[in-house]
Amino acid sequence: MVRGLPHAFRRPPRYALGMPELPEVETIARDLRGLVTGARIIAARSDWPRTLRSHEPEAFAAAVTGREIEGVGRRGKQLLVWLGPANVAAALGSPALGAAAAPAATPEAAASEPAVLTVHLKMTGQLFVVAAGAPQDRHVHLVLALADGRELRYRDMRKFGRMGLYRRDPETGEPVEGEAVGVLATGAEPLADGFTARRLAELLARRRGRLKTLLMNQDFLAGIGNIYADESLWRARLHPLRDAHTLRPDDVRRLHRALRDVLAEAVERRGSSVDDYTAPQGDGSMQEHLQVYQRAGEPCERCGRPIRRIVVGGRSTHFCSWCQRLPAKQREAAGKPLRSAADGGDGSSRRPAAATRRGPRWTELSGEGALGRTADEEARARRVAATRKAAATRRAAARGGATAPAPVPGATSPTGGAA
């Protein structure tokens, strides 16, 4: 098979792509739940073996064929697609079934046991439910054919997404203990009922390190990435470099509230359609309501001073240096990373070092009269706008190729009827 260069090398983006976080994956789960619950899988095909963590493509097809989709859930940033035991009679009776899909039970997912398919979309993974005859572009790498004439298609431009099929623990809905080690996040679910301010305080008390890095650690909290870490810290007025263990009870309460509020609002708005995220029933609108993420140079909604961008743990970090102060004791220790990330600097990119030296360092700005943008900030804002426009164009093209010619029957309910 002849392949061109991986996409990532052909067109390096100016900004690192983010991946869908809790609100985006929750939106996809809700859409899918409404669209495919009760549907039976009659065949599977894939052309990129690395997408599958647990099986070779033929073994995977054999293991999913004949199973009914019982529901769709989420753990952290991953989807959980719950599959019932294989209905061998239904599978054998299907004309679409090839010889390779004989019900040969694999030890990983015996046909008689309920299974769970974990789906990690990573940066560019997308899921669409379309009529079987709908046109398909070259980025579709895995297809589950359904008995009702539709297909669940997995599209992934960069092919970093991963799926795994495992026996299901009936209690948790997750893979049985020991079967998918390291696949799912182990951190607390921030929107769960049991996630209280007291619980967050307990978790924080055991941790060292900077708040931004900690919030994005999937074994601390599950589902938070760059967007919602920056947004919740801005809402809580906490500096991203703040040492986690120095939070006072009042800080913890504000952070808890900010996390829950911003995530719930984002779920309500169907997530932030930045980069390549789109859900089976359409884009989200939270990107229009983000206060700091990718808004470097724009005035802070609270104080009017420009939003700053620094790099923390290799990730762009957006915040207001006026509203989100570091305690005096920590300023000295944090000075180095802050100074190394000059105003507007993006240490994570291959941008020439000289470019990061234009304009005053943000640490040198008084904060007085800093409304509006410097020339550098203006240029950056234009680039952000162009990047967003390009991403929106890519999403529109993906949807057009995947869904426009063949509207999905019964796919009109915006909530999928299963929220």
- Give whichever of 75 and 295 is closer to Zn ion, judged by the CB atom: 295
Cβ of residue 233: shortest distance to Zn ion, in angstroms?
12
- Give whichever of 105 and 303 is closer to Zn ion, judged by the CB atom: 303
Residues 6 or more apart from 380 whose CB is under 8 A from it? 296, 297, 344
- Give whichever of 278 and 291 is closer to Zn ion, judged by the CB atom: 291
Catalytic residue among 30, 75, 77, 254: 77
- Give whichever of 53 and 302 is closer to Zn ion, judged by the CB atom: 302
Cβ of residue 39: shortest distance to Zn ion, in angstroms?
48
Alpha carbons 103 and 385: distance in angstroms, whole number: 51
**315 has catalytic annotation:** yes
Cβ of residue 311: shortest distance to Zn ion, in angstroms?
20
- Give whichever of 155 and 309 is closer to Zn ion, judged by the CB atom: 309
- Give whichever of 123 and 300 is closer to Zn ion, judged by the CB atom: 300
**Per-residue b/e over 291-327, b at no fewer than 16 CB within 10 Å?**
bbbbbbbbbbeeeebbbbbbbbbebbbbbbbbbbebe
| Residues between 274 and 333 with contacts to Zn ion, criterion CB under 5 A | 300, 302-303, 320, 322-323
Chain-centre distance for alpha carbon 156: 13
Cβ of residue 385: shortest distance to Zn ion, in angstroms?
22
Q: How would you class 6 by CB atoms within 10 Å of its CB: exposed for 0-12, middle for 13-18, buried for 19 or more?
A: exposed
CA atoms within 13 A on the CB side of 373: 16
Q: Is 22 in the site for Zn ion (CB under 5 A)?
A: no
Catalytic residue among 21, 68, 70, 231: 21
Pair of tokens at residue 279: 């859900």
Is 158 in contact with 123 (CB distance < 8 Å)?
A: yes
Structure-token match 């063949």, residue found: 406
**20 has catalytic annotation:** yes
Catalytic residue among 67, 315, 380, 395: 315
The secondary structure element, H or E, covering residue 315 is strand 315-319
Alpha carbons 384 and 377: distance in angstroms, whole number: 10
Is 335 in contact with 364 (CB distance < 8 Å)?
A: no
Helices marked H in 269-327 = none
Q: Is 167 in the site for Zn ion (CB under 5 A)?
A: no
| Strand residue runs (E) in 65-148 | 69-75, 78-83, 115-120, 125-131, 140-146
Cβ of residue 298: shortest distance to Zn ion, in angstroms?
11
- Give whichever of 166 and 319 is closer to Zn ion, judged by the CB atom: 319
Cβ of residue 319: shortest distance to Zn ion, in angstroms?
9
CA atoms within 13 A on the CB side of 273: 21
Cβ of residue 308: shortest distance to Zn ion, in angstroms?
10
**377 has catalytic annotation:** no
Q: How many CB atoms lie within 10 A of CB 204?
A: 20
Catalytic sites, residue numbers: 20-21, 77, 315
Q: Which residues sit at the interface with Zn ion, rule CB under 5 A?
A: 300, 302-303, 320, 322-323
